[in-house]
A and B are shown apart, each in its own frame.
Chain A
Amino acid sequence: MNEEAIEPMDPALLEISGLKKYFPVQKGIFRRTIGSIRAVDGVDLVVQRKETLGLVGESGSGKTTVARIAAGLVQPTEGSVIFRGGGREVDMTRMTSKERKIAWRDLQMIFQDPYGSLNPRMPILETVGEPLIVQHGTKGNVLREQVIQLLERVGLQSSHAGCYPHELSGGQKQRVGLARALALNPELIICDEAVSALDVSVQSQILNLLVQLQKESGMSYLFIAHSLSVVGFMSDRIAVMYLGRVVEVARSEDLFNRPLHPYTEALLFNDPVPDPAAARKRRVLKGEIPSPANPPAGCAFHPRCPYATEPCRTKSPRLEEQEPGHWAACLRWNEISLEGRK
């Protein structure tokens, strides 16, 4: 293992603590609450400055809900999200709409669907310039110039300023979303499946752009995707979520080479790799992903886990630091030997 001394770090840029989000399940004409979906069920995560934290998980894992709460778009049931951007320290979960508007100068989000997240009736000039107009009252030629600079930074041309979204390709739309996110020089960009809808040849262009922008401007990313290859490429550290909880967090290379949670191992073996020899090694996991409305008792992964024993059925493991910087929530992590990519 790499024995780097752990530097006393600045306080983290984003600090998510004890986060829970329960959505009520209602029934009947009186909308009686009969239960709850535990979309996020106790999540702690930090994003350091200039770092990319990857967040992976399958549908229902709660990764998107975590992102939306962190961006101040959704109120959690419990917990806090401390954001230390722009020289201030705010809790994204307890703020007025005025405070939120200020926080969004330093925290931006880009989404999967570039089609749905751009206003079809707004020319690109206005879409990209909107944050500048709203936050700084920029207008006229100054606005135009700043927008053109932003477009050029993401690899578009000044002529695109007058276009409408339907005139652009999927990759170009995602670049517009990125230009808009960059408008106010944010310290954190939350990317929710930002490249998932793109063709592979275009996906690599956007990934390169995200990496290059981070090198230039030193912003942090909370990078959410279901594809382990994409997250592995982008991230310094990776958190794996399953049914509303984080089951493993580690530096990317540790997670890939030496996973400590059986679910991470399963994800590694089920991420299609363009290599016929490796592909035949895929190990199939049994069972369905359970509903977050009715998660299994004990370790939520135990019904599908090939290593589960009796205690796993009843005892819920906590996320603990098993090795320096490597956290896992598994009762049997040191009894089983899991296989990584190498």
Chain B
Amino acid sequence: MTDKLLQIRDLEIRFKRDEKTVYAVNGIDFDLCRGEVLGIVGESGCGKSVTGYSILGLVSGLGGRVTSGSIRYYREDEMVDLASLDAKSDAIRRIRGNELGMIFQEPMRSLSPVYTVGEQIGESVRLHLGLNRKEARERAIELLRQVQIADPEQRVDAYPHQLSGGMRQRVMIAIALSCNPKLLIADEPTTSLDGTIEGQILQLLRDLRNELHMSILFISHDLGVIAEMANRVMVMYLGRIMETTDVKSLFADPLHPYTRALLRTNPSLAPEPKSTLTVIPGSVPEATEEIAGCPFASRCDAVMAKCSLKRPPAFEPRKNHIVECWLYE
């Protein structure tokens, strides 16, 4: 395929915590195409954020290690394996924050409190695009206008604490867009925002994607937000991809018992108030042991004997609908 932007194969990520190994990501494969919004959905500890960080070469900063696998990133004229680059190497620095942008859940934590918004956007464009101070300021104003911040000429001199949560997230998006990225990695970008503000930011991201033709890797725990944003969705659980398909099929016709259960537990789909919601028994186990079989076997309502013995491979019962479950053998 020529429109492939990322190809991830057999990716494994491990962390060390309290002398124990955390099996965060356990051999996942996926592709991301140009212009596509790929959603990753899952509960806490499923490895969705770590997968995003690994593309940016930021896993070592979190105390983790990519122990195997490849992250092939296709540039205009060459292919780079991001997994093989050192986190501090010049090669990855040229790509990260330039061709790969990122936004996170907590904009306040990612912004420096002691520099103005303009200085922080400017830093990025001066570093990557080699603009001078005056040009950088102009580019910052232009970017603030692009993310629909009112009065960009004044706001460019504001400090992050002077802005609301929604505006800070717009500033983060402006920084991510500053160098025209090919791929934007958005990790729970609206989770800390109020509903009406969340709506605005999602709308902005959709508009920008159409305008700039970038790809987005959209990571969220919220199936509603994923339904709204993604073209294609991967459902993760304990470091594995349980199911991958286009957004319509996932919600209309989910195949994996985990996806089905996740959808049924959602209170907005309850037949009536105070009825009994479907539950997934137990809670997500800690990922401190290597699991031989299907990671969901212990909580699955369709579990069979072989499920806990042997990990199911990726089956494709329908075209472009991939599911790791023995039911589809």
Measured CB to CB, the residues of A under 8 A from B are 52, 58-59, 169-172, 199-205, 207-208, 211, 214, 226, 228-230, 232-236, 252-253, 266-267, 269-276, 278-280, 282-286, 288-289, 304
Q: A58-B195, A199-B44, A272-B222 are in contact. Are A284 and B284 (CB under 8 A)?
A: no
- Is B266 in the interface zone, CB < 8 Å from A? yes
Contact B227 A234 (CB under 8 A): no
- Is B318 in the interface zone, CB < 8 Å from A? no
A83–B192 Cα distance when bound, in Å, is 34
Contact pick for A272, options B224, B247, B267, CB 8 Å: B224
Question: For A201, A207, A252, A266, which residue has the most chain B Cβ atoms within 10 angstroms?
Answer: A201
Q: A232 — nearest CB in chain B belongs to which residue?
A: B273
Mind listing 6 A-B residue pairs with CB under 8 Å? A199-B43, A199-B221, A273-B268, A274-B269, A279-B227, A282-B203
Taking A203-B265, A208-B277, A274-B268 as given, write out 19 further A-B residue pairs in contact, using a Cβ cutoff of 8 Å, ordered by the A residue number: A52-B274, A58-B196, A199-B43, A199-B284, A201-B43, A201-B280, A203-B267, A204-B266, A205-B279, A207-B267, A208-B279, A252-B273, A273-B227, A274-B269, A275-B251, A276-B227, A276-B248, A285-B199, A289-B164
Which DSSP category, helix, strand, loop or mixed, fits chain A's interface? Answer: helix
Contact A279 B279 (CB under 8 A): no
**Chain A contacts for B253, CB-based, 8 A:** none
Contact B267 A230 (CB under 8 A): yes
Shortest Cβ gap from A154 to chain B (Å): 14
**Chain A contacts for B261, CB-based, 8 A:** 201
A230–B277 Cα distance when bound, in Å, is 11
Contact B228 A200 (CB under 8 A): no
Q: Give the A-B pair count, Cβ closer than 8 A.
A: 136
Contact A267 B196 (CB under 8 A): yes
A199–B191 Cα distance when bound, in Å, is 13
* CB neighbors of A among B160-188 (8 A): 164-167
A304–B199 Cα distance when bound, in Å, is 14
Shortest Cβ gap from B46 to chain A (Å): 9
Contact B195 A271 (CB under 8 A): yes
A208–B273 Cα distance when bound, in Å, is 11
Q: A233 — nearest CB in chain B belongs to which residue?
A: B267
Q: A236 — nearest CB in chain B belongs to which residue?
A: B273
A230–B225 Cα distance when bound, in Å, is 16
